[in-house]
Amino acid sequence: MAQIKGFFFDQDGVIIDTEKDGHRVAFNQTFKKFGFDFEWSVDDYHELLQIGGGKERMKHYLHTKGFGREIKQEEEEALIKALHLAKTDTFIQLIESKQLPLRPGVHRMMREINSKGYVLGVCTTSDQRSAQAVATIILSDINFNFVLAGDIVSKKKPDPEIYNLALKHSGLRADECIVFEDSHNGVVAAKAAGMHVVATTNFYTEKEDLSKADIIVTSLGDRDGEKGVLKADLKDLAFDGVLTADQLVTFFESR
């Protein structure tokens, strides 16, 4: 088995549990600001998360349920773009106010990765500004080799394009990389690119089919905080509630 050299993180739901209390809230505040009389419930947003990308989710909702008033076809693209820009501003304000804490074990894992000299990257369909805000504000002490986000790719997850692009940026082979994902689409994308995958579940993804992942846990875990629970039946992984970079390297290099 190849030597592990790189670790790639999805952002939303993996680094920060942003979906329910972050992006969904920002979308709803933006809809209200633009005068629309609807909002996305927790269940609505769960359904919409099966579609990669915020602009794509709004287009899908507009075409299937509508925005409560007529939107002319020639106005659609400009409206979606304006909504998304405003929503991103609102989301970044949530990040800057540090109302969205990191998921358990993420900061510890990234520090371990940095200390060992591995390549560290972010691969997300989230807006570029949002991704950079997380990387530079909340994770300001972490050294990222790259942050790939938003419309940098033409096809969103479950297409593997963003992970194939990460391989080009890093100069690594797929079997030298470990990806942290939380959703079915993300796991499928990383596996389609040929990478090892650790899935960390959250409120929205705990019931999704993550069976293609090599390891499934509720979180990466912290020694002095929340511990993770192993969800996949991997008897050869000794798991005490905290996954470490060294443990993952040993696990994947020996398979």
One-letter amino acid for residue 41 of the chain: S
Phi and psi dihedrals of 208, rounded to 5?
Answer: -80, 160
Q: How many domains does the chain have?
A: 2
| CATH number of domain containing 180 | 3.40.50.1000
So what's the pLDDT on residue 52? 83
So what's the pLDDT on residue 235? 63
Q: How far is CA 242 from CA 28, 103, 105, 108, 202, in A?
A: 35, 13, 7, 10, 16
So what's the pLDDT on residue 196? 97
pTM value is 0.83
So what's the pLDDT on residue 204? 86
So what's the pLDDT on residue 233? 62
| CATH number of domain containing 26 | 1.10.150.240
Instruction: Please name the residues in contact with 63: beta carbons below 8 A apart, sequence gap of 6 or more.
Output: none
Active site residue 10: yes
124 and 243 in a single domain? The answer is yes
Of the three residues 96, 122, 138, the one that is the final residue of a domain is 96
Residue 164 falls inside a structural domain: yes
Active site residue 127: no
89 and 143 in a single domain? The answer is no
199 and 82 in a single domain? The answer is no
Neighbouring CB atoms inside 10 A of 12's CB total 24
Q: Which residue of the set 10, 17, 182, 214 is catalytic?
A: 10
Please state, in angstroms and rounded to a whole number, the distance separating the CA atoms of residues 6 and 150: 21
92 and 109 in a single domain? The answer is no
153 and 129 in a single domain? The answer is yes
In terms of residue numbers, what domain contains 84?
A: 19-96
Of the three residues 40, 66, 96, the one that is the final residue of a domain is 96
- Per-residue confidence of the chain (255 residues) as pLDDT tens digits? 699 999 999 999 999 988 888 889 999 999 999 999 999 999 999 899 889 889 999 999 999 999 999 999 999 999 999 999 999 999 889 888 877 889 999 999 999 999 999 999 999 988 888 899 899 999 999 999 999 998 899 998 999 999 999 999 999 999 999 999 999 999 999 999 999 999 999 988 988 999 999 999 999 999 999 999 999 766 678 889 999 999 999 999 988
37 and 163 in a single domain? The answer is no
Confirm if 217 and 104 have CB atoms less than 8 A apart.
no
Match 């990806």 to its residue by tokens.
179
So what's the pLDDT on residue 26? 94
